[in-house]
Amino acid sequence: MVNGFEIPQLIDRTGQLAKASEWENTKLKVAELTQKIKDHPEDVKPRLQLATIYMSEARITGDIYYHQATMTILDGVIKLEPQNFEAYTYKASVAMSLHQFQEAKDLAEKAQQLNPNNAYVCGVLVDANVELGNYEKAVEMSDKMQTLKPSLEAYARVSYLREIYGDYPGAIDAMKMAVKAGTTGSESAEWARVALGDLFLNTGQLDSAEIAYNASLVVRPEFPNAEIGLAKAAKARKNYDSAIAHVERAINIVSEASYVAMLGELYTLKGDNEKAGEINKQVIAELEKAEEDQLTSKGIKHNANRELSRAYLSDRDLEKALKYAQIDLAIRPENIDANELVAWIYYLKGDYSNAKIHADKMLQTNTMNATTLYKAGLIYTKAGDLVKADMCNLKASQVNSTVDQKLMLALN
């Protein structure tokens, strides 16, 4: 306990993550910073450095402990320096990780008032505004970030916004720049390389996607994102056994609910509905347990409404799926992904009128995501707008002809 605030400990990594090249340096640096904090409790610099390390550990390990640990450290900084710009910026970043989008936006705007020309906080504001459906503001912040500091992070956000607005060629170009701007083998650079693979995958370029995913595993072995990428590519090729093997490797590295959910999806495609059902119920149980645990925990909560909705959707419980999807939508009514999820659940329930209302919103940025467009085509067909349905189906086939509508329906 330093100045009334606990300095959270670093948790030992296990399994393959413990073999990562940066782990030994991470342990040494955390020990060094912890000692500096004890020796100089009024100095906020080592606290802020420790917070950035814990934010990185949260990304790498998927352990929610580090989100709360980082918040504890940053609250200590703000107690010492109530107007510390970096502390508010990092708190905003953690809030984003916990899907508390409005809180992230509010914290980032507070930080920007303290320092109007910082690229990092612009990046957080891009992300928060995207999630809240404020796409024009997100573009504004992205442009400012690009002007202030062209970087991997800036290029990646340009890529994401171009994808949102239906510009896949531009998105691919920007993500290539992000990969080039990074340090090969680092977590951030390989995240960008996998994101580039995803863009190739979404446009039906399976060979290019697999090259990107495999290249990432060469320079960062046991990278779960790349394993999931290869699983998605194998799924697109309908090689479900291979896809399952890649997902299982990812889960052995980091057991994330989304990875486990994907495993259930693959068993459904394989025709093993019993195994898929067991996995889906496991995902629901874990998410519900996490929600219960949060009732007694202190600090900022993890917003898991979207994850819960998708889990219940996989389990064919449309009422609960809709319940959580509507909570998510109430938080961000203009977000295209939130509207897509609600639209699809209404479609599966046979409520085509409401499905169409949200389909209109999910297409408001002129997305060219083939799966989204195929879903819209199905919704508009049932809603009686055949012209719009044909247009969506044509666009989808032009972007990615590998999407199998029958499989999409079988899963959802």
DSSP per residue over 221-265, as a string? TT-HHHHHHHHHHHHHTT-HHHHHHHHHHHHHH---HHHHHHHHH
CA distance 331 to 102: 8
pLDDT of 17 reads 85
Specify which residues 5 forms β-bridges with.
Answer: 2
pTM: 0.91
Radius of gyration of the chain (CA): 22
Average pLDDT over the chain, rounded to whole? 93
Say whether pLDDT at 308 is over 90: yes
pLDDT of 412 reads 58
> What tens digit of pLDDT does each residue of 224-261 get?
999 999 999 999 999 999 999 999 999 999 888 899 99
Question: How far out from the chain centre does Cα 287 lie?
Answer: 16
Scanning 2-100, the segments in alpha helix (DSSP H) are 23-39, 45-61, 65-80, 85-97
Domain boundaries of the chain, sorted by first residue: 255-294+304-324, 334-412
Residue closest to 388 by CA, chosen among 353, 363, 354: 363
The two three-digit tokens of residue 329, written as one number:
């939508």
Among 21-30, 219-228, 346-355, which is the least confidently predicted range?
Answer: 21-30
Superfamily of domain 334-412: Tetratricopeptide repeat domain (1.25.40.10)
pLDDT of 348 reads 96
What does DSSP assign to residue 17?
G
Question: How far out from the chain centre does Cα 303 lie?
Answer: 13
